[in-house]
Amino acid sequence: MSDTATQGKTVLLIGGVDAHLERYAALGVKVVLIQHPDKVTAYQTRAADVLLVVDYTDWDTVRPFAEAAHAVYRVDAVVSLTEPGLNPASRLGDLFGLTDGRRYEVSRRMRDKWLMRRHLHERGLPAPHAGLVADRASLAEFGERAGYPFIVKPLSTTAGFGLIRAEDPADLDRVWARVRELDGGRTDRGSTMFTVDGFLMESYIDGPEFSVEALSFAGRHVVVAVTEKLTSEEHFAELGHAVPARVSEADRARLVGAVEEFLTAMEVTDGPSHTEIRLSSRGPMVIESHNRLGGDHIVELVQAAYGVDMIAYGAAWPLGLTEPPAAAPAPLAAAAMRAVLREPGTVTAVEGVEAVRARPDVLLAQVSVRPGDTVRPLRDNWDRIGNVVVTAADTDAAVELAERLGREDIRVEVEPAAAAVVDGGVPGPGSAPVAASVSSAVPSAGRAPVRVG
């Protein structure tokens, strides 16, 4: 895009990370950044042309600041590429007449899992049995109707926080106690910017899990990648991702078609999306979806494997500063992320991170704990202690490399804690080594399951 085309363009950016501002700097766009007080970085204070530090998750707080910014700087688009900023950004875009006037409605429907399920049901798309949790009796009634096990989850949090699996009728006292404990509060690990505002019940969906990374351009959906997920039935933490996913062409086509149909039905027309989906015994079934980029370093995996910078598209498209790709990209290589996991306890030593990070085939290696820190039982994504992101010629090689580096080359020694029980009601990693039961979501014929430990 020429300098003439970008000259005078101004974006009102709601939240986000340094990489989002870096893309706007590369475009030569003026950035008016509204950032949460807990998320401001030194780079953002330098890179933003205007910085307003307010709690943008509170509409009554952010609206007057955004209106003043729009009046002074005449912004051309309101954009957010981060989960807590999606609703306020779309609502402001509608308010300022910069969208079709329905972006907030669509964003709310994507973020609120109950609204999403109702919308899909009304349009006849595949969806599990679902209902709102009202009291303990509603849990029992849902179990009788939908069967066991079933899943209870907050309506609009992220990273697997607060997910509960109800195993059988005898398990409902535990489930109801956990719902009462969390409902109405804020997420207590990782980001605290999400409020638990009610719970949804869903019938359990079987089958291997994937995510589909897409970009939408005026209603045209371009699937950039199908990502293989590494999960476990013992908890709700995502243990890794790999692209391209190791699936047959027929199954990939089924996943892509289901997500394109889903995005159209949800009336998502523009921007990035990250849709979690399972190949269930009843066919492809969407677990949940987000009108934003995938987290957990998925954008780095996609760029390494496909050469597509999804952040750049998400930043540039609302301002008219990029053209849609003509077709879905073909893979150039493979990439994988695997979480660094250890049993619960107290960290006594951390070694090897710098040596792993220095490897040419490693995009990122990090550990969030130091000697003296506590490793918690693994319940959701915020209980992981680090990750390794690598590239390789094919997905098998990328997965094997990431898992070996995280398990062997990065050395995190832990003094074990006593046995623990996680929210799901099954023994947590404190009672058995993590390596004992976590395998690749999609082991192909003739290949032994890849294990993480």
The per-residue pLDDT for range 57-96, each reduced to its tens digit, is 999 999 999 999 999 999 999 999 999 999 999 999 999 9
Find the distance separating the first CA and the last CA of the chain, reported in whole Å.
Answer: 46
Report if residue 74 sits inside a domain: yes
Spatial neighbors of 49 by CB under 8 A, at least 6 apart, are 30, 31, 32
The CATH number linked to 245 is 3.30.470.20
Report if residue 451 sits inside a domain: no
The CATH number linked to 186 is 3.30.1490.20
Whether 328 and 342 map to the same domain: the answer is: no
| Residue of 206, 185, 209 lying closest to 196 (CA atoms) | 185
Helix (H, G, I), strand (E, B) or coil at 147: coil
Report if residue 120 sits inside a domain: no
50 bridge partner residues:
32
Last residue of a domain, one of 302, 332, 362: 332
Instruction: Say how many domains are in the chain.
Output: 4
Report if residue 107 sits inside a domain: no
Whether 277 and 225 map to the same domain: the answer is: yes
Whether 186 and 281 map to the same domain: the answer is: no
Residue 248 near residue 335, CB atoms below 8 Å:
no
Residue 315: the pLDDT is: 98
Domain of 30? 8-101
Whether 199 and 176 map to the same domain: the answer is: yes
Whether 81 and 167 map to the same domain: the answer is: no
Beta strands in 177-270 (DSSP E): 199-203, 209-217, 220-230, 240-243
Residue 313: the pLDDT is: 98
The CATH number linked to 78 is 3.40.50.20
Residue 76 near residue 96, CB atoms below 8 Å:
no
Residue 381: the pLDDT is: 80
Token duo for residue 38? 């807990």
Residue 235: the pLDDT is: 62
Whether 23 and 71 map to the same domain: the answer is: yes
Q: Give the span between the Cα atoms of 9 and 400, in whole angstroms.
A: 45
Residue 185: the pLDDT is: 58
Whether 197 and 240 map to the same domain: the answer is: no
34 bridge partner residues:
14, 52
Whether 224 and 318 map to the same domain: the answer is: yes
Q: Give the span between the Cα atoms of 260 and 284, in whole angstroms.
A: 12
Residue 340 near residue 363, CB atoms below 8 Å:
no
228 bridge partner residues:
210, 242
Q: Which helix (DSSP H) or strand (DSSP E) does residue 355 occupy?
A: helix 353-357
Residue 154: the pLDDT is: 87
Q: Give the span between the Cα atoms of 347 and 369, in whole angstroms.
A: 7
Residues in the chain with pLDDT < 50?
1-4, 189, 420-453
Find where tokens 């294990």 sit: 451
Report if residue 86 sits inside a domain: yes
Helix (H, G, I), strand (E, B) or coil at 412: strand
Report if residue 290 sits inside a domain: yes
Whether 428 and 349 map to the same domain: the answer is: yes
Residue 186: the pLDDT is: 53
Report if residue 123 sits inside a domain: no
pLDDT tens for 110-134 read 988 899 999 999 999 988 899 999 9
Report if residue 106 sits inside a domain: no
Residue 30: the pLDDT is: 98
Last residue of a domain, one of 101, 120, 155: 101
| 312 Cα distance to chain centroid | 18
Q: Which residue type does 295 have? A: G
Whether 235 and 248 map to the same domain: the answer is: yes
Last residue of a domain, one of 332, 363, 392: 332
Largest CA distance in the chain: 67
